[in-house]
Amino acid sequence: MRDEKWKDHLRSYFENLRIIEKSKSDTLENFNQFCEFIAEPAFEALEQELKSYSIKVRLQKSRGRFIGIKINFPKSKVGNFHYTIWLPKNSVELKLRLKIKGRRNRKNALLEREEAFMSGKTPYDIMKLSKEDLIQDIIDHYRDFLYEALTSPE
């Protein structure tokens, strides 16, 4: 009987691999649903509103990898602020990351920082976000970036 224990270990190993692959697949599917039903509608609504301020917006996405919004300087084609939500490679749960890029003026280089997307929210919470919640998060980050850029001594 003891000689057969290795077969149980091998079976368990392959079952664990199957579970990991299934979790990765489910997470990718959840991310794509988040993008389609929450992020895209939020970005499109924000884009429409920003038009009234003469600010052009471009949506950026790569299925299964990232979705983002690029906000230009007013009356310009130059990107001012980028808000990108991305799914880390090989994720087994919906723990998303947020990349923020911005420039103080049209001639400066983009500054970049990364953080957890809506830290404190569980993967379940992320799937239950409303488009208004996401729009508010974008506005909060955009506002903070602009205030910092306008009041920075550099």
Q: Write down the pLDDT at residue 38.
A: 97
Range in 75-79, 122-126, 144-148, 150-154 the model is least confident about: 150-154
Provide the percentage of residues in the chain whose pLDDT is more than 90.
77
Question: Binning pLDDT at 50, 70 and 90, where does residue 74 land?
Answer: confident
Closest CA to 67 of 29, 36, 45, 93: 36
Question: Binning pLDDT at 50, 70 and 90, where does residue 79 land?
Answer: confident
- Phi-psi region for residue 75, left (φ > 0), alpha (ψ -120 to 50) or beta? left
Q: Where are the alpha helices (DSSP H) in 52-128?
A: 123-127
Residue 113 three-state SS: strand
Interhelix angle 40-51/131-151, nearest 10 degrees: 50
User: What is the distance between the alpha carbons of residues 37 and 133, in angstroms, rounded to a whole number?
Assistant: 13
